[in-house]
Copies of this chain bind each other. A is one copy, B any other.
Amino acid sequence: MPFIPHTETEIGEMLAAIGAPSIDALFDEIPAALRIKSLAAIPDALSEMEVGRLMQARANQDGRPLNFLGAGAYEHHIPAAVWAIVTRGEFYSAYTPYQAEASQGTLQLLYEYQTMMSSLTGMEVSNASLYDGASALAEACLMAVRAHRKSKSARIVVPSTLNPTYLSVSRAVVEGQNLSFTVLPYEAGKGTLQFSKLEALKGEDLTAVVIQQPNFFGQMEDVDAITDWAHANNALVIAVVNPLSLALFKPPGEWGSKGVDIVVGDGQPLGVPLSSGGPYFGFMTTRMEHVRQMPGRIIGRTVDLDGKQGFTLTLQAREQHIRRSKATSNICTNQGLLVTAATIHMSLLGAAGLESVAATSQRQAAKLVEKLTRIPGVKVVFDGYRFHEAVLQLPVKVSDVLDALAKRNIVGGLDLSKLYPELGNALLVCATEMRTDADLDAYASALAAVLERKP
């Protein structure tokens, strides 16, 4: 029996000890009428060899196309050491560190992670992860409402340059709790928040203003001005950031004159493979004053009976298993293993390494834009400083182009025509340090061919 160690003899001995005539008898409290007859739709067991063959066949169907898609998930080099360590049984197969003394490895690592994330974002404290960037934003909105007692509106201002899925997820998650979102448009030609629309909200009760930097188009927002405006207007500021970009860019803790209040984002660029969308991890950092409103687990350093340093889950009174219906969130299981990856990844790259990766990504993306816009009919949509993504305008329907590129084994980017119809045939492209010049050329010539309808 796969994964079942029991021998016939042992089964007999165990039933005897229980005093039950059969294994089936152990289920005699279940009403007989309810008992399953068969699970006809479940296929027969496969051996590991067979399932391996099956999975490889499935994987081969998808292949390994050359990727120019970002839009919230980015392909970066991950040192081989990272996942070699992450998948060690002691990390991989442990539960949440409830028994601190038997979990010092995970706990110390999480404390180190909290330190790194706080420093990277320029904030004071970090939790030990949330599910992903999108749901972390939802949690940040709820947290802002709790933290900003003076604001009664539960009204959150978001720019339309925020990743649209992050807004969808936030709406879905806060649905039951009477928060409202006010979406502000972007400046045509610039692709950044139309500041005048923000100004127009002056005097209204706003709980928080969300800023994504770099924004969904890859453009850089005037984060200082927005942060200061929000604080001047008694709103908290929630920053949504790509943690890798913070190696180059001013951390949210330094935006404006006093820094933002809550920082969230997706930690995926820090050592987590694209892996079809997950598992990634959401991060959240904040000021010390808000720590008790923060959702998710937090690790603290303390001492043991002998005065020796050790690490443990702390501030658990915020959490569902203690506070139940009054908890800051219902989150329990988080994304610990991905945080393990990120912590090792950040340790291996260091600040210098992250900076270099970010700078190279930006350089390759700029080259990509340059190469693609040499093709007749392909234009850059927005001016201004960009990180490693850009919006391009194509002369024809984007989805057709992407399909044609996919046939050439290229994942060409994200079709923006449904999310931002006003942009017409707009395509969001991305390049990271993983895309060589040859890759960029391959894309450019494929795109040129597709646009000329060459076979």
Contact = CB atoms under 8 A, between A and B. Distances in A.
Nearest to A439: B53
Interface string A15-28: 00000000000000
Contact of A77 (B48, B80, B88, B434): B48
A84 interface: yes
A65 interface: no
A78 B79 CA distance: 26
A303 interface: no
Contact of A79 (B48, B53, B436): B48
A34 interface: no
Contacts of A47: 77
A436 B79 CA distance: 36
Interface in A18-71: 47-49, 52-53
B433 A80 contact: no
Nearest to A88: B88
A433 B48 CA distance: 12
A7 to B, nearest CB: 12
Nearest to A79: B48
A87 interface: yes
Nearest to A49: B77
Interface of A: prevailing SS: loop
B433 A49 contact: yes
Interface string A419-438: 00000000000000110100
Contacts of A53: 436
B88 A434 contact: no
Nearest to A76: B49
Contacts of A49: 77, 433-434
Interface in A406-455: 433-434, 436
Contacts of A77: 47-49, 52
B434 A80 contact: no
A49 B87 CA distance: 20
Contacts of A434: 49
A49 B360 CA distance: 13
Nearest to A60: B64
A84 B47 CA distance: 18
Contacts of A48: 77, 79-80
A208 B77 CA distance: 57
Interface in A301-315: none
Contacts of A80: 48, 52
Contacts of A87: 84
A436 B48 CA distance: 14
Nearest to A48: B79
A269 to B, nearest CB: 14
Contacts of A433: 49
Nearest to A90: B88
A183 to B, nearest CB: 39
A54 B77 CA distance: 14
Residue in A48, A87, A433 with the greatest tally of chain B CB atoms within 10 Å: A48
Contacts of A79: 48
Contacts of A436: 53
Closest 5 CB pairs of A and B: A49-B77, A48-B79, A88-B88, A48-B80, A84-B87
Given A48-B77, A53-B436, 10 more contacts: A47-B77, A48-B79, A48-B80, A49-B77, A49-B433, A49-B434, A52-B77, A52-B80, A84-B87, A88-B88
5 contacts: A48-B77, A48-B79, A48-B80, A49-B77, A53-B436
Interface of A: 47-49, 52-53, 77, 79-80, 84, 87-88, 433-434, 436
